[in-house]
């Protein structure tokens, strides 16, 4: 226990005396006298239910929230009375611009209704009946091993930041809590599928893990979000769609459709967060470029490592024969081009069209396009 | 009564079929997107439709996409749409080679057109809902403009594409 109370309550006469009086019916009721803002919150759409957007009223709402949270340093929910003596929890993130995103409340509601279950929503028994050829089975198990590795860190990152955000960022905290749950479910389903192929978990990837460590160790939430939500998850979203495309069975296709839904929602938050930052703090543009320079270096090293690239080639070419491998390289190259183009499309939409010209990843894309043209 | 693909009546039949599956779609979660379907015919001929989804329902079906704010448009020649719908009708749901994502991923069968990548990503945010909506066409009694019909339903045989 690193934190100890400065009071031993059982031995504190004033506390014990107040407790005894309360339990005898002598109520203090001071909390009832606090002057509070009375509001009426009703669902704008009854089919949708009572949403966070319906609660965006007065001092309880998020629209009126200031950029700097100076008052609330505690766990007090936004809008509650703050009596003297609340602890200072030393939240690390107290600027709205570091966490906020357009429509974050909508992403949360969507996340809550679109939860699914890795244990029961996949036709596991049906998948058990399908024997994959050895080369396909091993390549698929290796891809699933890589994805399990990725999703474990994708769980850790939002979970790490959750308690470091000021309590006033209620909607963001709830959203990244759903993200942690989503990613944990992804790690679960990839592990389950790897083991259910019969080939088990294959080899961890050092290059990939350096990239994951970079994501985990970001100095600020804004850096973590840029690298995780927008860049890494944007690329993983294209990867999930590609994985659905090359999946060997209908059950696997469903698996990838379910995970891509969650991933696309996280990317949506990342895009709307970056837009928010650039709209409100254009002076941060250069910092964002510097962070992306490093993030892109890691993602290139991780995403294109042997343990990742070769399974894609085998799965998309449908085998290890020479002609399969050649076809696999052609398809995988097309995927890489698509993945990179979509990443830069998103950045441009967020207000960074100049990123293409600065990026070494874009130069790699040009090489890939040349290779694709020559094939 | 049989409807024709492509036609407004076809998509209205899907809308009715979705209403009959309230519980199934509610379980899949909020489904908020408006997208277009474009069926390309010979030359400049094209049939276009708008499908609007809100909360758990298909709330809007209309002909023509011009000037409407759309998240994305799924576009392809009639033969590609027919290939997908025949497969769904025969098996009750798309098989591994005919899911919407597979058909559109590299634009080999169908293409996805979009201006805004955020709108494009909605195709993936609601991927399972969209797939299940299209799979409802297995229940629709329809024919093609030349009077031919999709294959009769048969017991779904799970296949691998490996």
Q: Domain containing A248 — which CATH number?
A: 1.10.620.20
In a domain, A277, yes or no: yes
> How many distinct structural domains can be found in chain A?
1
Report pLDDT for B158.
47
Burial class (CB in 10 A: 0-12, 13-18, 19+), A268: buried
pLDDT averaged over chain A? 93
Confidence of residue A241 (pLDDT cuts 50, 70, 90): very high
What tokens were used for A365? 């894309």
In a domain, B146, yes or no: no
Per mean pLDDT, which of A200-209, A362-371, B42-51, B128-137 is the most reliable? Answer: B128-137
% of chain B exceeding 70 in pLDDT: 95
Please check the confidence at residue A184 and state whether its pLDDT lies above 50. yes
According to DSSP, the residues that pair with B40 across neighbouring strands are B46, B77
In a domain, A6, yes or no: no
pLDDT averaged over chain B? 93
In a domain, B144, yes or no: no
pTM, entire model: 0.94
In a domain, A40, yes or no: no
In a domain, A13, yes or no: no
Q: Contact A253/B56, CB-based, under 8 Å?
A: no
- Give the ipTM of the model, two decimals please: 0.93
For A249, name the nearest residue in chain B, comparing CA atoms only: B160
In a domain, B147, yes or no: no
CATH number where B46 lies = 3.30.1050.10
Report pLDDT for A369.
74
In a domain, B59, yes or no: yes
- Closest partner CB to B30 (pick from A113, A248, A331): A113
> Mean per-residue pLDDT for A63-75?
94
Whether the CB of A264 is below 8 Å from some CB of chain B: the reply is: yes
Please check the confidence at residue A22 and state whether its pLDDT lies above 90. yes
For A343, name the nearest residue in chain B, comparing CA atoms only: B117
Task: Determine the structural domain holding residue A347 and report its residue range.
Answer: 96-374
> Mean per-residue pLDDT for A350-359?
94
Instruction: Enumerate the residues of chain B whose CB falls inside 8 A of the CB of residue A241.
Output: 101, 105, 124
| A7: nearest Cα among A15, A298, A229 | A15
Please check the confidence at residue A131 and state whether its pLDDT lies above 60. yes
% of chain A exceeding 90 in pLDDT: 82
> Mean per-residue pLDDT for A324-332?
95
- Percentage helix, strand, coil, to 5, in chain B? 40, 25, 40
Q: Which of A101, A257, A258, A267 to mutate to test the interface with B (most CBs of B within 10 A)?
A: A257
> Mean per-residue pLDDT for A1-9?
89
Q: Which residue has the tokens 């759903």?
A: A178
Per mean pLDDT, which of A78-82, A114-118, B103-107 is the most reliable? Answer: A114-118
Confidence of residue A372 (pLDDT cuts 50, 70, 90): low
Whether the CB of A346 is below 8 Å from some CB of chain B: the reply is: yes
How long a stretch of residues is chain A?
375
Whether the CB of A105 is below 8 Å from some CB of chain B: the reply is: no
Please check the confidence at residue B81 and state whether its pLDDT lies above 50. yes
What whole-number distance in Å separates Cα of residue A246 and Cα of residue A244? 6
% of chain A exceeding 70 in pLDDT: 98
> How many distinct structural domains can be found in chain B?
1
Instruction: Enumerate the residues of chain B whose CB falls inside 8 A of the CB of residue A334.
Output: 106
Q: Contact B106/A245, CB-based, under 8 Å?
A: yes
Q: Contact B106/A247, CB-based, under 8 Å?
A: no
Task: Determine the structural domain holding residue B131 and report its residue range.
Answer: 3-138
Report pLDDT for A161.
96
Instruction: Enumerate the residues of chain A whose CB falls inside 8 A of the CB of residue B161.
Output: 247-249, 318
Report pLDDT for B162.
40
3-class DSSP assignment, residue B36: strand
In a domain, A76, yes or no: no
In a domain, A263, yes or no: yes
Instruction: Enumerate the residues of chain B whose CB falls inside 8 A of the CB of residue A197.
Output: none
Q: What's the pLDDT tens digit per position in A194-208? A: 999 999 999 999 988
């Amino acid at each position: 226990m690193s934190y100890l109370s400065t009071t031993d309550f059982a031995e504190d006469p004033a506390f014990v005396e107040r407790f005894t009086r309360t339990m005898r019916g002598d109520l203090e009721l001071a909390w009832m006298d606090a002057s509070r803002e009375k509001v009426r919150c009703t669902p704008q759409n009854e089919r949708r239910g009572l949403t966070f957007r319906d609660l965006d009223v007065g001092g309880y709402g998020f629209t009126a929230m200031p950029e700097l949270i100076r008052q609330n340093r505690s766990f007090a929910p936004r809008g509650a009375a703050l009596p003297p003596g609340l602890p200072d929890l030393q939240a690390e993130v107290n600027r709205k611009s570091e966490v906020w995103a357009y429509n974050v409340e909508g992403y949360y509601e969507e996340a809550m209704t679109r939860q699914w279950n890795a244990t029961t929503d996949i036709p596991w028994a049906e998948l058990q009946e399908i024997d994959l050829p050895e080369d396909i089975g091993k390549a698929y198990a290796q891809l699933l091993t890589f994805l399990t590795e990725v999703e474990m860190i994708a769980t850790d990152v939002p979970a790490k930041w959750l308690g470091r955000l000021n309590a006033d960022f209620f909607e963001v905290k709830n959203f990244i809590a759903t993200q942690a749950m989503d990613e944990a479910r992804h790690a679960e389903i990839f592990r389950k599928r790897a083991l259910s192929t019969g080939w088990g978990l294959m080899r961890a990837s050092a290059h990939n893990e350096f990239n994951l460590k970079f994501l985990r160790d970001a100095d600020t939430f804004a850096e973590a979000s840029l690298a995780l939500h927008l860049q890494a998850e944007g690329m993983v979203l294209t990867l999930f769609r590609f994985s659905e495309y090359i999946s060997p069975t209908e059950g696997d296709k469903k698996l990838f459709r379910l995970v891509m839904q969650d991933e696309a929602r996280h990317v949506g938050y990342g895009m709307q967060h970056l837009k928010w930052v650039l709209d409100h703090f254009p002076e941060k543009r250069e910092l964002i470029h510097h962070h992306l320079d490093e993030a892109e270096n890691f993602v290139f090293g991780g995403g294109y490592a042997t343990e990742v690239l070769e399974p894609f080639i085998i799965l998309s070419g449908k085998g290890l024969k020479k002609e399969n491998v050649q076809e696999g390289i052609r398809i995988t190259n097309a995927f890489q081009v698509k993945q990179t183009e979509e990443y830069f499309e998103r950045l441009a939409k967020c207000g960074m069209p100049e990123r293409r010209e600065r990026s070494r990843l874009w130069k790699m894309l040009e090489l890939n396009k040349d290779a694709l043209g020559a094939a | 009564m049989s409807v024709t693909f492509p036609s407004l009546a076809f998509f209205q039949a899907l809308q009715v079929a979705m209403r009959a599956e309230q519980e199934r779609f509610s379980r899949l979660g909020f489904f908020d997107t408006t997208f277009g379907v474009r069926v390309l015919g010979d030359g400049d001929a094209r049939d276009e439709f708008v499908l609007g989804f809100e909360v758990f329902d298909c709330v809007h079906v209309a002909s023509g996409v011009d000037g409407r704010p759309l998240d994305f448009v799924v576009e392809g020649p009639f033969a590609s749409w027919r290939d997908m719908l025949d497969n769904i009708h025969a098996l009750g749901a798309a098989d591994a080679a005919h899911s919407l994502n597979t058909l559109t991923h590299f634009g080999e069968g169908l293409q996805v057109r979009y201006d805004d990548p955020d709108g494009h990503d909605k195709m993936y945010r609601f991927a399972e809902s969209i797939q299940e909506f299209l799979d409802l066409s297995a229940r629709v009694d329809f024919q093609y403009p030349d009077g031919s019909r999709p294959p009769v339903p048969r017991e779904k045989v799970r296949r691998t594409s490996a």
